């Protein structure tokens, strides 16, 4: 191989290597755009009316591009809730950071959940309808949430903050706390035109938590 051919080959390899990260970043951005558009469409119309056409229109892409990333609409739905749920978990995680007790974590997390729903109103529909429309996604989302909750509760038992429950009961507690959030949202915010949970509801919830876990 002469010097010119060697230099050309090196340039070709370098160009391919440099182009790969760009293509990967572009693919990740498009995938993210589809997820965000799907969350917006499902939040507004529900899963049943969230067609590929509506999703791609919201994402600003061609329908053919959609099928480069997802084999079907259901394939997207089976991944949607854990994807947007991860954003909520991250948001709440930042809000509870620095808490010094389980009760402080719980109150901050409780408030943060409603703050997140205020800025992402479509999330509640994505969550609620997933149990029927995307059960795989719903199961995975609940698994992720419950694992984090149980881990936090176990630390509280180790610190002596929670004394009346054993490890085998923690998963049930986690589900109870999560159910309370959803039903209080339905009772006090959704359809009521309110932007935030009344303070007395937060106080009532925390009274139950503090008195019930000691």
Q: How many domains does the chain have?
A: 2
Round to whole Å and give the CA distance between 95 and 116: 11
Model confidence at 164, pLDDT cuts 50, 70, 90, reads confident
Mean pLDDT of the chain: 89
pLDDT at 207 over 90: yes
Same domain, 102 and 176: yes
As a whole number, mean pLDDT of residues 115-131 equals: 94
pLDDT at 2 over 60: no
Round to whole Å and give the CA distance between 72 and 83: 17
Residue 88 near residue 102, CB atoms below 8 Å: no
How many CB atoms sit inside 10 A of residue 193's CB?
6
pLDDT reported for residue 195: 78
Round to whole Å and give the CA distance between 78 and 117: 21
Name which residue leads in pLDDT, 3 or 165.
165
Model confidence at 16, pLDDT cuts 50, 70, 90, reads very low
How many CB atoms sit inside 10 A of residue 180's CB?
14
Same domain, 154 and 77: yes
Round to whole Å and give the CA distance between 43 and 153: 31
Nearest to 108 by CA among 117, 116, 99: 99
Residue 84 near residue 123, CB atoms below 8 Å: yes
pLDDT reported for residue 19: 57
CATH of the domain at 204: 1.10.357.10
pLDDT reported for residue 22: 85
Round to whole Å and give the CA distance between 185 and 135: 22
Domain final residue pick, 70, 96, 111: 70
Round to whole Å and give the CA distance between 177 and 57: 37
Per-residue model confidence as pLDDT tens digits over 37-90: 999 999 999 999 999 999 999 999 999 999 999 999 999 999 999 999 999 999
pLDDT reported for residue 193: 73
Domain final residue pick, 70, 103, 119: 70
Domain of residue 31, residue span: 1-70
């Amino acid at each position: 191989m002469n010097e010119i051919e060697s230099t050309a080959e090196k340039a070709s390899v370098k160009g391919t290597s440099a182009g790969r990260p760009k293509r990967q970043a572009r693919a990740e951005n498009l995938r993210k755009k589809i997820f965000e558009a799907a969350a917006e469409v499902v939040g507004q119309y529900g899963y049943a009316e969230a067609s590929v056409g509506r999703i791609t229109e919201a994402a600003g892409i061609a329908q053919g591009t959609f099928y480069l990333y997802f084999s079907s609409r259901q394939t997207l739905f089976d991944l949607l809730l854990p994807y947007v749920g991860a954003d909520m978990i991250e948001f709440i995680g930042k809000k509870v950071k620095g808490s010094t007790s389980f009760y402080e974590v719980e109150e901050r997390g409780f408030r943060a959940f409603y703050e997140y729903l205020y800025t992402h109103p479509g999330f509640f529909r994505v969550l609620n309808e997933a149990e029927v429309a995307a059960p795989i996604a719903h199961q995975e989302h609940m698994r992720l949430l419950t694992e984090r909750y149980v881990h936090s509760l176990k630390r509280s038992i180790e610190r002596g903050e929670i004394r009346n429950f054993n490890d085998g009961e923690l998963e049930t507690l986690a589900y109870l706390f999560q159910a309370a959030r959803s039903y209080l949202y339905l009772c006090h915010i959704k359809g009521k035109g309110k932007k935030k949970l009344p303070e007395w509801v937060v106080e009532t919830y925390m009274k139950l938590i503090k008195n019930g876990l000691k």
